[in-house]
């Protein structure tokens, strides 16, 4: 990617103005432990960063190709009255999505990172959808799709992890770590969807 985080509209990882996540750091550590996400996974993700950092656009082409060919998913990027996708919205989300790949590989799991996960969740939920980009797209992404997308985002990453000559064992380790990290984030993004006290 040729953009830096500071130049990506709506990108706010590290922004002290974000509302703090209600998820506590101790709860995050318990969640990571439940996902079997440990230091070896963090190390595997750092290796994955080196493998995928120059493949971001190709990865996004695969993901956007999937969403673009799946009408019930593409609808959340479109005008609910006309059904037509909003190109500027798709482009803005793509920039953030590319940076998200890099951030997932380099995550520092602290309070700032948790606040950003809360914000991402809100941007899919009706309480915050469309606000970052000032668009009038569909007003809410159902939780079922937020969670279901874990699979295509995880499965399609493996071929990219294998492109730089890593051993099959290391590719498997990077892919397992990637999948755990994606699931961890999706769980946190689901928090705004859940009734108070149920998360």
Token pair, residue 27, equals 């709860």
User: What pLDDT digit, counting tens, does each position of 119-160 carry?
Assistant: 999 999 999 999 999 999 999 999 999 999 999 999 999 999
| Predicted confidence (pLDDT) at residue 2 exceeds the cutoff of 60 | no
User: What pLDDT digit, counting tens, does each position of 68-113 carry?
Assistant: 999 999 999 999 999 999 999 999 999 999 999 999 999 999 999 9
7 pLDDT band (50/70/90 cuts)?
Answer: confident
Give the other-Cβ count within 10 Å of 65's Cβ. 11
Q: What is the pLDDT of residue 6?
A: 76
User: What pLDDT digit, counting tens, does each position of 21-32 carry?
Assistant: 999 999 999 999
Q: What's the CA angle centered on 49, arms 87 and 157, to 5 degrees?
A: 60
Q: What is the pLDDT of residue 22?
A: 97
SS (H, E, C) 3-45: CCHHHCCCCCCCCCCCCCCCCCHHHHHHHHHHCCCCHHHHHHH
Secondary structure (DSSP) of 49-84: HHHHTT-HHHHHHHHHHHHHT-HHHHGGGB-TTT--
What is the CATH number assigned to the segment(s) 19-193?
1.10.490.10
Q: What is the pLDDT of residue 148?
A: 98
Is the separation of the CB atoms in 128 and 122 below 8 Å? yes
| Predicted confidence (pLDDT) at residue 1 exceeds the cutoff of 60 | no
Q: What is the pLDDT of residue 127?
A: 97
Full-model pTM: 0.96
Ordered by start, the domain boundaries in the chain are: 19-193
User: What pLDDT digit, counting tens, does each position of 155-177 carry?
Assistant: 999 999 999 999 999 999 999 99
């Amino acid at each position: 990617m040729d953009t830096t985080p500071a130049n990506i509209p709506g990108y706010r990882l590290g922004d002290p103005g974000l509302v703090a996540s209600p998820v506590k750091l101790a709860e995050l550590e318990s969640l990571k432990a439940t996902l079997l996400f440990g230091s070896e996974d963090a190390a595997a993700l750092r290796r994955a960063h080196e493998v995928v950092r120059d493949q971001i656009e190709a990865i996004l082409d695969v993901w956007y190709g999937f969403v673009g060919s799946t009408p019930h998913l593409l609808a959340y990027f479109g005008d609910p009255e006309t059904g037509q996708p909003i190109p500027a919205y798709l482009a803005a989300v793509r920039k953030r999505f590319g940076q998200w790949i890099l951030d997932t590989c380099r995550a520092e799991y602290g309070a700032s990172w948790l606040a950003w996960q809360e914000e991402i969740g809100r941007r899919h939920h009706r309480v915050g959808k469309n606000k970052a980009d000032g668009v009038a797209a569909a007003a809410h992404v159902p939780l079922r799709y937020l969670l279901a997308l874990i699979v295509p985002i995880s499965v399609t990453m493996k071929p990219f992890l294998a492109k730089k000559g890593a051993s099959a064992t290391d590719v498997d380790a990077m892919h397992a770590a990637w999948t755990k990290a994606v699931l961890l984030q999706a769980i946190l993004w689901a928090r705004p969807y859940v009734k108070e006290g149920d998360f």
